[in-house]
Structure 1
């Protein structure tokens, strides 16, 4: 028998907890996107890997999953980037009722979407919508510890439907990132790229043998990207993903 097993040893020290938190700030960074910062209790024992997510337990008891959008550290704050979903129970709360200092509970961290140290030289991030949240977390980790990506080429391909949805821009001093914005809808005023993030990545990187890809966002993009990129030279064990499903 031959087993093909991913090494998830980095999860060994991660403990899944249920903890209280308070809303530290709410910022509406786009028409239907909110940036929520949660403040954890002092001396909490929470830890996570950049790229993981938590399950928020809302006021009605509903559970919803959100990626952690910052490289969590001793400051004890968790950033979430939340998209408004029509008739969504938690969307009604975040966009109509949530107030600073509200008390919430969450469970986590969860997920296996985190950086793996691999020999491949090129790191490619694909994201659609708020799928940029775990990507932001991981590149903040690189900024804090640039030796993780020494001699690596880092590229981000972020896709949205309208220019107004590009609510974040990396601003780092210790690492260099090629940051590519792609519109999926035609816009005559847009001077950048049009189409899909996976097509843009392939257009710029015709050879993917030295690449590792992290894709997060819509399930359609994730599935399409894996098929397209592996057919064009990407090793199957060099594709990692976190698909954002709506309840």
Structure 2
């Protein structure tokens, strides 16, 4: 009887353990600041709209999510090799990426936009930007957009991080900066950005390069984790928590139609 009791207790313990995430879920984010979505402080603690949304989804689904910074240009290989379990780092859902990873439902949409020096007098068409140097972050949909629409008549200069693009625009080393509209808005309304630069506006949307929205990325074998994320996202939107989080960072809807 004693042995039987021990076995039954063990089975019960295993059943209880199954109600909690067995191991931390390593959530990959780009290692550099990407305000207002993800930014680390001096101690390495991350904050931002995307971090708050991640925490809400993981709490809803009882997942132990841990932010794991990874260089942006290596973030998909880090996922497919098992170094991280998912990517939640403002990654656009594109057909090219979907050949390698599976995406969640979209959780926001952002167009590409263009920023220039405060005293710039040119516009934002390919003709306006002929002969100009345009800075972009490497391996992003915005780089693909700039190459497609401006690459024939402008010089496209690649940078490892968006912060580097912004710094070179502020320093006058490039003529224009193509990036996500919400990210550029955060830059040009910051203390440093306000002093040097202005945003000309959003560029015409292009599904081929910009995709169908921003989603979390998963290994193709991790359907259960992707389904949990989608359920958590749906719950957070239905509860109103998504809107509460968004209002902390934006004065407008970023989910899109």
TM-score of the pair, normalised by structure 2: 0.25
* Higher RCO structure, 1 or 2 (CA under 8 Å, sep 6+): 2
More strand by share: 1
TM-score (norm 1): 0.25
Q: Which has the larger radius of gyration?
A: 2
More helix by share: 2
